[in-house]
């Protein structure tokens, strides 16, 4: 059975104290067993990782994630953080290929492929993001675009490596806009991603891969989104900054 996951990407928000308070509120509000046996992942900025880890340590179903890692192991890369460093501070998951990295930091599929490899080599689970712009969606090119991102970012992995990866489909036009993709659009794209995985890695691996949706997930739409057969949870931005909203989303599996 593939895993249900709710991941909260705080992006570049919250002071350390605010982050500690938010993490401890989530811990206090998440019961030991969530519907659908979901795992909660908190993904704060780098400098919050250790203080947040201290807050969530006692919670069995809450893990720590990072928002990015370097595509290099070590050396003269000012401002970068390696996958091994993240592993050292107790990180379990790392986001790779978020559209904001692609857009604002010019990171392309080749860099994402390297980051995915580095993350896996360090023992981290990559949450590999993909998703199209509004322009691409309007041109009806979204499936081709996303399939290219996945092919170039992930298909260099062995079957064993791929079996550890989580995928997040985040259409750029739905991120932070309040406009969620329709349930039908989400299910169609998730199905198409799973079919790609089947072709490349076989049915068993594809069935085991968790595919999350991201883009204006809220307590009001989470239940319907997560009820789709190929939607295994969410990568949540804005709503993860409010403990109650985030925990309501985490309780939205059937
Ligand atoms: P929002 O939930 O704010 O739309 O952000 C989604 C996202 O980018 C999560 O990584």
CB atoms within 10 A of CB 15: 10
- Ligand 1 binding pocket mutation candidate from 94, 238, 245, 250 (most atoms within 8 A of CB): 238
Burial tier of 90 (Cβ tally within 10 Å: 0-12, 13-18, 19+): middle
Residue 58 contacts by C-beta under 8 Å, 6 or more apart in sequence? 27
pLDDT tens-digit map of 91-117: 999 999 999 999 999 999 999 999 999
Which residue has the CA at smallest separation from atom 5 of ligand 1?
237
pLDDT at 106: 94
Residue 215: CB within 6 Å of ligand 1?
yes
**Model confidence band, residue 181 (pLDDT cutoffs 50, 70, 90):** confident
pLDDT tens-digit map of 210-242: 999 999 999 999 999 999 999 999 999 999 999
Inter-helix orientation angle 142-154/183-201, to 10°: 40
Strands 233-236 vs 125-130: parallel, antiparallel or unpaired: unpaired
Domain count, the chain: 1
**Model confidence band, residue 180 (pLDDT cutoffs 50, 70, 90):** confident
Which residue has the CA at smallest separation from atom 7 of ligand 1?
237
**How far is ligand 1, taken at its centre, from the CA of residue 216, in Å?**
6
56-85 mean pLDDT? 97
Cα separation, 36 vs 253, whole angstroms: 5
Instruction: Give me the active site residues, please.
Output: 98, 170
Q: Copy the structure tokens of residue 95.
A: 């986001």
pLDDT at 85: 98
**How far is ligand 1, taken at its centre, from the CA of residue 177, in Å?**
9
**How far is ligand 1, taken at its centre, from the CA of residue 215, in Å?**
5
Distances (CA, A) of 186 to 31, 47, 189, 212: 28, 33, 5, 10
Cα separation, 171 vs 151, whole angstroms: 17
In contact, 48 and 86? CB cutoff 8 Å = no
Q: State which residues form the domain around 244.
A: 5-250
Half-sphere exposure of 36 (CA within 13 A, CB side): 22
CATH classification at residue 78: 3.20.20.70
Strands 93-96 vs 125-130: parallel, antiparallel or unpaired: parallel
Q: Is the pLDDT of residue 75 over 90?
A: yes
Report the residue count for the chain. Answer: 254
pLDDT at 177: 86
- Ligand 1 binding pocket mutation candidate from 42, 180, 236, 242 (most atoms within 8 A of CB): 236
In the chain, pLDDT over 70 holds for what percent of residues?
100
Cα angle, residue 73 at apex, residues 69 and 77 outer, rounded to 5°? 75
Residue 68: CB within 6 Å of ligand 1?
no
Q: What is the pTM of this model?
A: 0.97
Q: Is the pLDDT of residue 1 over 90?
A: no
**How far is ligand 1, taken at its centre, from the CA of residue 165, in Å?**
19
**How far is ligand 1, taken at its centre, from the CA of residue 76, in Å?**
31
Residue 171: CB within 6 Å of ligand 1?
no
């Amino acid at each position: 059975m593939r895993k249900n996951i709710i991941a909260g990407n705080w992006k570049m928000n919250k002071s350390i104290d605010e982050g500690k308070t938010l993490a401890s509120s989530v811990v206090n509000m998440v019961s030991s067993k969530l519907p659908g046996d979901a795992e909660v992942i908190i993904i704060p900025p780098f400098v919050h990782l250790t203080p947040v880890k201290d807050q969530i340590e006692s919670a069995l179903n809450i893990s720590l994630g990072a928002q990015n890692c370097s595509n290099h192991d070590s050396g003269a890369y000012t401002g970068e953080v390696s996958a091994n460093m993240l592993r050292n501070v107790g990180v379990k998951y790392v986001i790779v290929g978020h559209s904001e990295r692609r857009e604002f930091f010019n990171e392309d599929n080749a860099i994402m492929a390297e980051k995915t490899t580095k993350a896996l080599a360090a023992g981290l689970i990559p949450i590999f993001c993909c998703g199209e712009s509004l322009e691409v969606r309007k041109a009806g090119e979204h499936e081709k675009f996303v399939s290219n991102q996945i092919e170039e970012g992930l298909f260099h992995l062995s079957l064993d490596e791929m079996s550890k990866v989580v995928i997040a489909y985040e259409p750029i036009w739905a991120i932070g806009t309040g406009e969620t993709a329709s349930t039908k659009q989400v299910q169609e794209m998730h199905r198409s991603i799973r079919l790609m995985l089947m072709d490349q890695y076989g049915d068993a691996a594809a069935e085991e891969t968790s595919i999350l949706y991201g883009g204006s997930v809220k307590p009001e739409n989470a239940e319907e989104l997560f009820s789709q057969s190929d939607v295994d949870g969410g990568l949540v931005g804005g709503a993860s900054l409010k403990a109650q909203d985030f925990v309501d989303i985490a309780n939205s599996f059937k």
